[in-house]
Amino acid sequence: MRIATLTALFATMIASAAVAEPDWKAVGQTLGKEGAVMPGGVYRVGLPRTDLKVTLDGVEIKPGFALGSWLAFKPMGNDAMVMGDLVLTGDEVNPVMKKLLENGIEVTALHNHLLRSEPATMYMHVSGHGDAVKLAASLHDGLAMSKTPMGSPASTAPQAGLDFDIASVDAAMGFKGKANGPVFQFSIPRAEPVKDAGMEVPEAMGSAIAINFQGTGGGKAAITGDFVLTADEVNPVLRALRSNGIEVTAVHNHMLDDEPRLFFMHFWGNDDPQKLAKGLRAALDKVKVGKAP
């Protein structure tokens, strides 16, 4: 009886060790920027391109609006999976890509999100599987080929707040947004779980519809983000956005082995925020989204 009990205890200890959470502090230190644990057990690191001064149609793009690089790690058995989106200038793309590929990180997409932005920015989606700290080291070396700011941000003057009526935007959208400095953000999950290479991809790893509002003065706001769509939803959403005066700027993949197969539709508008929210709601009505909280 004693031997059986000890055997069962030992088996439990082995099982627990097999799914032990990675040392996130070591991951952050190795990467050069610490993150936070998000819902779904995801360790997410934000890497906003605060060094870039980008404008689009006369609008100054805030880092949290459309220049937010990020990396998200999730435990996967004894190892971890990492996914992310890196905001890069044109001259940074190939040096970063070369270093990542040399270090075993996969590039799953490379494309624009915006049109007419000055300077132009590209978005490189990455993926990797292995020891979490080693993945962080590989990503650190790749990011070193860019001017992406690392470490703690220098203290700056307080950011301006939102300068438009967020309550009316919430009402038109049918979802509750969240203020992040001068940016009002929505994260809307799809109704069905999203998987990549058989692993569930939580919202924090990029599976949710992301919609951002940024005030542009005079009672107007700019919008950008991406809809996460199955093939049959692409053109209904495209028509809904265009019929409401919202520009579609890109349609493409972010993942390579996703289930269901997903397409990401990026958009842009600068108009009355409630009008834009109604247009976005019309597009959301064409998508199988999760219930409003």
Q: Is the pTM of this model over 0.85?
A: yes
Structure-block tokens of residue 7: 């055997």
CATH 3.30.70 region(s) of the chain? 21-143
CA distance 146 to 148: 5
Residue 91: what pLDDT? Answer: 98
b (16+ CB within 10 A) / e for 152-188: eeeeeeeeeebebebeebbebbebebeeebbbbbbbb
**CATH number of 21-143: 3.40.630, 3.30.70, 1.20.1730, 3.30.310?**
3.30.70
Crossing angle for the helix pair 90-102 and 132-143, nearest 10 degrees? 150
* pLDDT mean for each 10 residues of the chain (293 residues): 48 49 94 94 96 97 97 94 97 98 98 97 97 98 97 59 91 95 95 92 95 95 98 98 98 96 98 98 96 61
CATH 3.30.1460 region(s) of the chain? 166-284
Residue 154: what pLDDT? Answer: 55
The residue among 219, 181, 188, 205 whose CA lies nearest residue 71 is 205
The residue among 122, 17, 33, 15 whose CA lies nearest residue 72 is 33
The CA-based angle 101-227-150, given to 5 degrees, is 45
Residue 21: what pLDDT? Answer: 83
Sheet of strand 263-271: strand arrangement: 178-180, 183-188, 209-217, 220-229, 263-271, 247-252
CA distance 268 to 252: 16
**Which CATH architecture best describes the domain 166-284?**
2-Layer Sandwich (3.30)
